[in-house]
Structure 1
Amino acid sequence: MSESSPPGPPAFVRFAPVIVDLMIATVTIVIFVAVALATGVRSPWPYTIPVALFLGALLLFRRQWPMTVLLLSVAALIAYHLASWSPAGWIWPISAAYFTAATTRHFLWVIGIGIAQLVYSAIDAQWILDHNIRRYLFHTLGETLLLAILIGAGLAHAAAQRWHRQQANP
């Protein structure tokens, strides 16, 4: 009698990370374009849609190369804001990239990149300061809070994963 090996995990378990990444990429693309249109971008084709597709495509590689994805995402967002007028956010379009990069051992670099991006965002949004100081503070503090939440969640997730691995291999 030959011993059969136990069956592997079901397909939905094996492909869950790919499905999650596809869903996150799709949601990023749709929301990025929708927010740009809702905030006054008249034609999404010259900049918004290509950047949204690029950000979405990058997210498909966030598990393999989290820091590369984060850096390319930040660069794309800065280029987008330089090339087009859009009050779209600075942190939320690349939330998944920040979260994933924060789970790595390079989390101090992630914090530094986030601070640099927030400083650039605050300078870029300075025109708001001339018109509405409350809106400027809401923008700046909101982006800062979101970044802190994403990095904190990434660190907590990484700590939980380490704990589970330690419990499985005492």
Structure 2
Amino acid sequence: MRQNLSMRSLMSLAEADEASEPAGELAEILDAGWYTADCGALLLVGVGGHAATWPCDPASVGEREYEINDVRVPDGDLDEDRDHFLPAVAARADGFARAALRRATGMPGSDRVAAVISVGVDDDYLSHGTTVKFFTSRGSYPDWFGDLERFRSEAMRVLEIADVNPAEPLT
């Protein structure tokens, strides 16, 4: 796992109960599961079911996955106070990312799947939104996550399948 200082700070403030099982839209995405598209891309059914037969060059499969597996983390139910909102939404995104990675285990390409969590932390944090994007390191794929400290207006975390405990129960 790699993360920038902003994410380390948020996660250190997150309450244990904020990392509970994903609910609502996120639970629906998890329940729908993963599939392998015609081009070999590993996609979440809940956000990428429409892309099963889209043309995709195997040389750019990671980029295609990153483009399609883009999940906005719902936050409308959270207290808008910055000191509560940011750690809570970061914990929610982390819990979802970990659950999705566990569910990908055993799928073709899952040994190289990663999740990128991005939480907007600037003054515009309520409208910036939080996203979790998934991709594999196959073909060309997003490679700009080497230095996460350069993301100054976002708390960033990159989780790889190896960072997730497969023994944890699936949510």
Normalising by the smaller structure, the TM-score range is 0.3 to 0.5
Q: TM-score, normalised by structure 1?
A: 0.33
Q: TM-score, normalised by structure 2?
A: 0.33
Higher RCO structure, 1 or 2 (CA under 8 Å, sep 6+): 2
Q: Which has the higher strand share?
A: 2
